[in-house]
Amino acid sequence: MSTPAMPKIKKNYILAPGPTPVPPEVSAAGAWPMIHHRTPQFRAIIKEVAEGLKYLFVTQNPVYFTACSGTGVMEAAVANLMSPGETMIVVEGGKFGERWSEIGKAYGLNVVPLKVEYGQVASPVQIEEILQKNPQAKGVFTQLSETSTGCVFDIEAIGKVVSKTNALFVVDGISGVGAEPCYPDKWGVDCLLTGSQKGVMLPPGLGFISVSQKAWDSIEKAKSPRYYFDLRAYKKALAQEDSPYTPAISLVFQLREALNIIRKETIEGVWARHGWLAEGTRAAIKALNLELFAQRPGNILTAVKVPAGVDGEKLVQIMRDDLGVTIAGGQGEKMKGKVLRIAHLGYQDRFDVTTAIAALEVALKRQGFSLKLGTGVAAAEEILWKDPQS
């Protein structure tokens, strides 16, 4: 009897920290017939979405949305809150902390970086010290989750420090919102932002930003140039259940569906699911004798040091091109080939995680790494099948 041919079908799985998988009902909403945005019908959708976004952000403050990537709302935060020549303190603990600095410099700000080694987090003591040295600072800018390293910052503790000063506390929640617990109103966050292609479970193309009343006082006085990203226009429009410019209508249809999914699971349930998947992933990584990269890993992704003798870039390529599982490698020259990033973000369940671990085992073994196939999968399953509803 001849040996059967290998199967030709290859499914693809996304476990990179954005874009993340999109639920089928959200994908389907993108095909709804187009409607005009200056109509009562679309205004009703904006009203529903506005309430859903406040639930997602866990805030009483309005959440504005615009057609852009996450970087767009990062720029909006800087342009609206700061004036040229003012001082912004930036926690630089990865590529996206560094992006805050790059945007600040582009707007003529005095950027004071708090440099943190990749994989480490900024402590409240460090924040307090740099604020004492720079009492004129208008804002402190950081990440909820530094996507390039997998570190989650202690926003609650940092917020307590910043709230004792006149500085604004601005948090990039692009990969964190919808995955990691965050209470901006309680924690003194003056500006929180995210993008659509992460925990919100949408295709790329929408940015979301919320600001406190304290932040609005700065927005009204800021002298930086702004037009499309002028939050005053968004505030005026949202008060009338409208948008200042032509919105990404199909993405807004999809946003409504995604927010409904989150409401049904509850935001606390969403956070718990992400934490559960993260725990299973890290159990697998430890069982394979691999080393975690982040000092304070969160629910969003698991960053893993590439073991000696393994080509990190080739590993990512094998998993994606041969095995159909997309994860992320290291970002930037400092991290390229040195780190693997396995996301458990957005529309993910236990089978996505175990599939990714199985693919990781095969890819490692192909490069001569010593392991017994199934070791990581078994460790993950010990966690992921303890669900009382399984």
Domains of the chain, by residue range, sit at 13-19+266-384, 24-265
Min mean pLDDT across 7-16, 164-173, 207-216 is at 7-16
d(CA 282, CA 287): 8
Residue 66: alpha-carbon gap to chain centroid: 17
- Average pLDDT taken over every residue of the chain: 96
Peptide bond into 19 cis (omega under 30): yes
24-265 in CATH: which number? 3.40.640.10
pLDDT, residue 331, reads 87
User: pLDDT of 226-271, one tens digit each?
Assistant: 999 999 999 999 999 999 999 999 999 999 999 999 999 999 999 9
pLDDT, residue 387, reads 59
Q: What angle do CA 349, 354, 357 make, to 5 degrees?
A: 130
- Does 13-19+266-384 carry CATH code 3.90.1150.10? yes
Residue 319: alpha-carbon gap to chain centroid: 23
Q: How far apart are the first and last CA of the chain?
A: 40
d(CA 194, CA 206): 9
